[in-house]
């Protein structure tokens, strides 16, 4: 048989048994790679905030939100979903059981921001200053009045921020492949 090379691999039964035990442990004890995936997914979700939406850009801020932020009512700039940073900073992961991972936030309003919805402003009365005037004597007079503000509804557009991106899948696969390799070495 010219041109062929035959390789015979001899292994002891004990060595093979140890390798199979390590491989079984690597396939069944997945807490370590699940934690790595959790940390990775938090960083991926933060990239969604940095990009103002991935793979599709989020809907822009409403004119009302822009005016509130300019007037100092909202502390954030013009970054979408990042007025205070609370939402972004609330993203965490938890292991549920031995083989399940939950990535998300516990903020009540997050669901509406992610999926969209309707905000309702109840009817109320507000006090309005119409103008102020300073007289030569140094005194000022402010005219004010009360007005009734009707109930209003306004749409909150969906801005999905907790997503697994296509680019995340190979990274997650590599985390598990590396875990299995580490288990048998």
Q: pLDDT digits over 152-175, tens only?
A: 898 999 999 999 999 999 999 999
- pLDDT at res. 137: 72
Arithmetic mean of pLDDT over the chain:
83
* Residue 11: pLDDT over 80: no
- pLDDT at res. 116: 95
The CA distance from 61 to 59, in Å, is 7
pLDDT above 90 coverage of the chain, percent: 43
- pLDDT at res. 1: 45
- pLDDT at res. 131: 64
């Amino acid at each position: 048989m010219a041109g062929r090379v035959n390789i015979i691999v001899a292994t002891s039964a004990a060595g093979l048994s140890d390798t199979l035990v390590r491989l079984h442990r690597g396939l069944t004890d997945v807490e370590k790679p699940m934690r790595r995936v959790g940390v990775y997914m938090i960083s991926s979700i933060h990239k969604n905030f940095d990009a103002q939406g991935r793979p599709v850009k989020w809907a822009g801020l409403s004119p009302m939100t822009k005016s509130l932020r300019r007037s100092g009512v909202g502390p954030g700039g013009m970054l979408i979903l990042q007025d205070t940073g609370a939402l972004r900073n609330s993203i965490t992961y938890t292991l549920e059981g031995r083989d399940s991972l939950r990535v998300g936030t516990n903020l009540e309003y997050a669901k509406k921001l992610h999926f969209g919805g309707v905000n309702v402003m109840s009817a109320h009365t507000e006090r309005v200053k119409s103008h102020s005037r300073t007289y030569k004597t140094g005194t000022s007079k402010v005219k004010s009045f009360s007005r009734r503000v009707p109930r209003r509804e306004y749409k909150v557009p969906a801005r999905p921020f907790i997503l697994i991106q296509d680019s995340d899948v190979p990274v997650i696969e590599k985390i598990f492949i590396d875990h299995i390799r580490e288990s048998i070495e």
